[in-house]
C-alpha cells in the first residue's frame, strides 16, 4: 500500500512541534517526586500530555506542578487552531503569564501594558477561553468589568450577570477548583476590587443637576471642526447612550483664542452658531473671546478660564484642543474619563491626569543662543 504524503499545514506543523515540546519535557523525567505515592506515579498520571490523567489532580497537585516541575511551559501559537482547547488547558503559557500579570495587578497594584492587551484578547474570545481555562476567562471578565465600573445600570448589570452565571457554571462543571485559587488565580481579589469600585460612585439622580465637569476647548474658529464632541453622548461603535449624564453634568466652554481676527458682528454670529449646534447636548454652552495683549494660544485660553472660575471651579475640568483626537491615543479614553467623572466615579483626590500622548517639553536653562536646547515635541508610549 502506498500512502501519499502531503506537506502539513501550518496548524498541523504547530501542533506537531507542540506535541514534541511536551513530550520532550515529560519523557525521561520524573517530575516532582513529592507528588508520587502508591498507584499515583509519573507514568500513570503524566501521560499522555498535555493534561495527563484527570483523576490524579486535586488541590495543590496539578499537572503543571507534578509533571512539568522545572520545565519550561509550552509556548503555543493560539492562532494556529480554531479552538484553543485543542492545545491544552490552564498550563499553557498564555494563561500562566496572564495569571502572573493579573495577580500582580490585583495583589500589588502593579500595572502592565501587556495585561490590558491580554484581557481584551481573552475577553473577545470568551467562550473558547472558558472551555480551555475557565479561571483565565473569568479573570479577563473581571478586568473587563473593572474597566467599565462606571457604566450605566443596564450595561453593567448585563455583563455582571454573565460573570455570575459563568462562575457558577465553572464550579458546577468542575472546571473551577479550589486549587486554582491556591495556585494564584486572583478571582477573589478581582471581585472584591470590582465591587468596591462599583460602590464608590453615585447615579445621576443622586448628583442632582449640578455641574460636575467643565470641558474647556481652546478654539480659533476659521473652519476648525469639533464634530468629535458628539462622542461624549454616543460613540458610533458602541450601543451605550450617555446623553442623560452629559446633559445633566457636563458643561462645554469654548475659549476663543483668535478673537482679534473677528469683528464684533462675526463674534456674535460665531457665538450663536456654537450655542445652537451644541446647546442641546451639554448642560450649558458658553463662548468666551480671550483678548490678551499678547496672544499665547492654549495658555491664553486655559489661564483665562482659570481666572474666570478660580473661586467657583467644578469638581473636574478637562482642557482640550479643538483638534483633540490628534492629541490623545483614543477618544474612548477621553470620553470614558469624562463619563466616569460625570457620574461621580472619579475620586476627588485624583489630582492632575495627563491624557495626551504628545506634549512640548522645554529644557531647563534654555536660551535663544543655545540651538541644541530648543523646545521639542515628546511622545509618550
Q: What is the pLDDT of residue 358?
A: 59
Confidence of residue 371 (pLDDT cuts 50, 70, 90): low
Mean pLDDT for the stretch of residues 336-344: 90
Does 368 reside within a domain?
A: no
| Domain shared by 196 and 319, yes or no | no
Residue 372 lies in a domain: no
Q: Of 299 and 362, which is predicted with more confidence? A: 299
Q: Are residue 228 and residue 339 in the same domain, yes or no?
A: yes
> Residue 369 pLDDT more than 90?
no
Rounded to whole angstroms, the Cα distance separating 156 from 198 reads: 9
Number of domains in the chain: 3
Instruction: Note whether 211 and 287 are same-domain residues.
Output: yes
Give the residue, 46 or 59, on which the prediction is more confident. 46
Give the range among 79-83, 230-234, 237-241 with minimum mean pLDDT. Answer: 79-83
| Res. 44: pLDDT tops 90 | no
Do residue 273 and residue 133 come from a single domain? no
Q: Does 265 lie in the same domain as 152?
A: no
Q: In terms of domains, do 95 and 67 share one?
A: no
pLDDT of residue 123: 92
DSSP state of 6: P
Q: Are residues 120 and 181 in the same domain?
A: yes
Which residue would you say has higher pLDDT here, 21 or 170?
Answer: 170
Residue 180, pLDDT above cutoff 60 = yes
Q: What is the mean pLDDT of residues 261-271?
A: 87
Q: Is residue 340 part of a domain?
A: yes
Assess if residue 376 is contained within a domain: no
Q: Are residues 180 and 277 in the same domain?
A: no
**Residue 14 placed within a domain:** no
Residues 173 and 211 in one domain: no
pLDDT of residue 73: 45
Last residue of a domain, one of 180, 200, 220: 200
Strands 376-379 and 358-361 turn out to be antiparallel
Domain boundary among 177, 200, 223: 200
Using the 3D structure, point to which of 71, 92, 120 is the last residue of a domain: 71
Query: What band does 84 get if pLDDT is binned at 50, 70 and 90?
Result: low
pLDDT of 4 above 90: no
How many Cα atoms are found within 13 Å in the side-chain-facing hemisphere of 149? 21
- pLDDT score at 109: 87
269/380 Cα distance (integer angstroms): 39
The predicted structure's pLDDT at residue 21: 38
Determine the pLDDT at residue 59. Answer: 66
Q: Let me know if residue 378 belongs to a domain.
A: no
Residue 318, pLDDT above cutoff 80:
yes
Indicate if 156 and 189 belong to the same structural domain.
yes
pLDDT of residue 131: 92
CA distance 357 to 360: 11
Residue bearing cell 442641546: 280
Q: Are 366 and 358 in contact, with CB atoms under 8 Å apart?
A: no
Kindly indicate the confidence band of residue 86, based on its pLDDT and cuts at 50, 70 and 90.
low
- pLDDT above 90 covers what percent of the chain? 34
Q: Which tops the pLDDT comparison, 56 or 149? A: 149
pLDDT of residue 8: 33
Q: Does residue 150 fall inside a structural domain?
A: yes
- Residue pair 49/2 in contact (Cβ under 8 Å)? The answer is no
Question: Is residue 335 a part of any domain in this protein?
Answer: yes
- Residue 38's pLDDT band, with cuts at 50, 70 and 90, is low
Strand partners, 40: 37
The reply to whether 228 and 357 lie within a common domain is yes
Tell which residue, 341, 335, 337, 344, has the closest CA to residue 233.
335
Largest separation between any pair of C-alpha atoms in the chain: 95
Domain that holds residue 226: 204-361
Beta bridge partners of 217: 254, 320
Are residues 264 and 350 both part of a single domain?
yes
The pLDDT of residue 13 is 32
Interval 165-182 mean pLDDT: 94
Before 116, cis peptide (omega within 30)?
Answer: no
Q: What span, in angstroms and rounded, lies between the C-alpha atoms of 346 and 128?
A: 34
Angstrom distance (rounded) from CA 330 to CA 337 = 12
Q: Is 314 exposed, middle or buried (0-12, 13-18, 19+ CB in 10 A)?
A: middle
Amino acid at each position: 500500500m502506498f500512502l501519499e504524503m502531503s506537506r502539513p499545514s501550518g496548524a498541523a506543523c504547530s501542533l506537531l512541534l507542540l506535541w514534541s515540546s511536551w513530550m520532550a519535557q515529560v519523557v525521561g523525567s520524573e517530575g516532582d517526586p513529592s507528588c508520587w505515592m502508591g498507584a499515583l506515579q509519573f507514568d500513570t498520571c503524566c501521560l499522555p500530555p498535555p493534561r495527563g490523567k484527570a483523576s490524579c489532580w486535586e488541590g495543590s497537585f496539578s499537572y503543571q506542578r507534578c509533571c512539568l516541575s522545572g520545565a519550561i511551559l509550552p509556548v503555543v501559537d493560539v492562532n494556529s487552531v480554531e479552538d484553543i482547547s485543542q492545545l491544552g488547558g490552564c498550563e499553557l503559557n498564555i494563561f500562566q503569564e496572564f495569571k502572573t500579570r493579573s495577580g500582580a495587578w490585583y495583589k500589588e497594584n502593579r500595572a502592565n501594558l501587556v495585561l490590558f492587551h491580554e484581557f481584551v484578547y481573552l475577553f473577545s474570545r470568551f467562550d473558547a477561553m472558558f472551555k480551555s481555562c475557565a479561571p483565565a476567562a473569568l479573570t479577563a471578565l473581571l478586568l473587563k468589568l473593572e474597566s467599565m465600573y462606571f457604566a450605566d445600570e443596564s450595561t453593567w448589570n448585563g455583563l455582571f450577570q454573565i460573570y455570575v452565571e459563568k462562575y457558577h457554571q465553572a464550579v458546577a462543571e468542575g472546571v473551577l477548583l479550589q486549587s486554582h485559587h491556591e495556585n494564584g488565580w486572583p478571582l477573589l481579589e478581582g471581585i472584591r476590587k470590582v465591587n468596591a469600585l462599583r460602590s464608590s460612585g453615585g447615579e445621576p439622580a443622586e448628583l442632582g443637576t449640578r455641574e460636575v465637569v467643565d470641558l474647556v476647548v481652546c478654539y480659533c474658529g476659521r473652519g476648525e471642526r469639533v464634530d468629535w464632541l458628539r462622542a461624549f453622548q454616543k460613540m458610533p461603535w458602541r450601543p451605550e447612550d450617555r446623553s442623560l449624564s452629559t446633559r445633566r453634568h457636563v458643561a462645554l466652554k469654548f475659549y476663543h483664542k483668535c478673537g482679534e481676527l473677528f469683528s464684533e458682528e462675526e463674534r456674535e454670529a460665531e457665538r450663536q452658531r456654537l450655542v445652537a449646534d451644541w446647546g442641546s447636548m451639554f448642560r450649558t454652552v458658553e463662548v468666551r473671546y480671550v483678548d490678551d495683549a499678547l496672544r499665547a494660544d492654549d495658555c491664553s485660553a486655559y489661564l483665562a478660564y482659570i481666572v474666570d472660575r478660580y473661586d467657583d471651579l467644578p469638581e473636574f475640568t478637562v482642557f482640550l484642543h479643538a483638534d483633540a483626537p490628534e492629541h490623545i491615543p483614543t477618544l474612548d479614553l477621553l470620553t470614558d474619563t469624562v463619563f466616569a467623572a460625570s457620574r461621580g466615579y472619579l475620586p476627588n483626590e485624583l489630582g492632575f491626569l495627563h491624557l495626551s500622548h504628545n506634549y512640548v517639553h522645554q529644557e531647563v536653562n534654555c536660551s535663544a543662543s543655545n540651538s541644541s536646547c530648543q523646545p521639542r515635541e515628546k511622545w509618550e508610549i
